[in-house]
Amino acid sequence: SPKFTIDGLKANVEGKEILKGLNLEIKGGEVHAIMGPNGTGKSTLASALMGHPKYEVTEGAVTLDGEDVLDMAVDERARAGLFLAMQYPSEITGVTNADFLRSAINARRGEGNEISLIKFIRQMEAKMKELEMNPEFMHRYLNEGFSGGEKKRNEILQMLLLEPKIVILDEIDSGLDIDALRIVAEGVNAMRNEDRGFLIITHYQRLLNYIKPDFVHVMMQGRIVKSGGPELAERLEAEGYDWVKEELGIVD
Ligand code: ADP
Ligand code: MG
Ligand code: MG
């Protein structure tokens, strides 16, 4: 069962410190949610964990099963089993969805263990059906002209096929209608098991009605300032974030 540890993580964006010492541990079988006001550094956390070049880690450690994640290149992190669904997935012209997915799967599986074309197509078709995706998406360029909801489903398709150890979903619910949200959540729930841990980043509690978290963390000003169970998300939905600020004496 995997163990993912973030210890005292600090990160800068364009010279400004956004993450200010963040601690979190995720084990296989656990679903953690991070909630927080806009601009608090949630997406910065996701980007820093995936090794986005704009996000400069200045302090702290991140490990996956004891391996130093911060020392790995972006593709090595993916190979090690980290998966990140971005708040704003990028478009890649000239690469079809199928080509992209097949090379991502093969990178994850490693040399000498590549998936056969037949098996890949069979798996991809089965998962696309589960996600109620139009089969033509396979041959479209990655994310190009996809609607918000289509991009999100496509991210979940990648997750289903890559079978990562640690899944980070950044506002996977934004721009989704209720039907798409339910399909995406079912995709995630089908992947929940002891061999996989989840970090669900969300601004709204709504998503957590569909993906029930074990732990809820409140992030403010670049840190996790409060942790609890699902009841914490419900209170945030009902009362907003001000009571947390008052309780902790946070001034913004
Ligand atoms: P959240 O996801 O919690 O809404 P973000 O991580 O997106 O917050 O942003 C946190 C802060 O970092 C904001 O002040 C934002 O303007 C800044 N920031 C994040 N990414 C960038 C970027 N690529 N370039 C400049 N500033 C950024
Ligand atoms: Mg935001
Ligand atoms: Mg964000």
Model confidence pLDDT, tens digit, residues 126-150: 999 988 898 888 888 887 888 878 8
ipTM of the complex: 0.94
Residue 202 near ligand 1, beta carbon < 6 Å: no
Cα 14 to averaged position of ligand 1 atoms, centre (Å): 10
Model confidence pLDDT, tens digit, residues 82-92: 998 876 666 67
Task: Specify the ligand 1 atom closest to the Cα of 44.
Answer: 6
Q: Which residues of 111-144 are buried (b: 16+ CB within 10 A; e: fewer)?
A: eeeebeeeebeeebeebbeebebeeebbebbbbe
If one counts every other C-beta atom within 10 angstroms of the C-beta of residue 198, the result is 25
Q: Which fold has domain 3-91+163-248?
A: Rossmann fold (3.40.50)
Cα 1 to averaged position of ligand 2 atoms, centre (Å): 32
Model-wide pTM > 0.95:
no
What pLDDT, on a 0 to 100 scale, did the predictor assign at position 124? 93
131 near 183, Cβ under 8 Å?
yes
Among 13, 45, 223, residue to substitute to test ligand 1 (most atoms within 8 Å of Cβ): 13
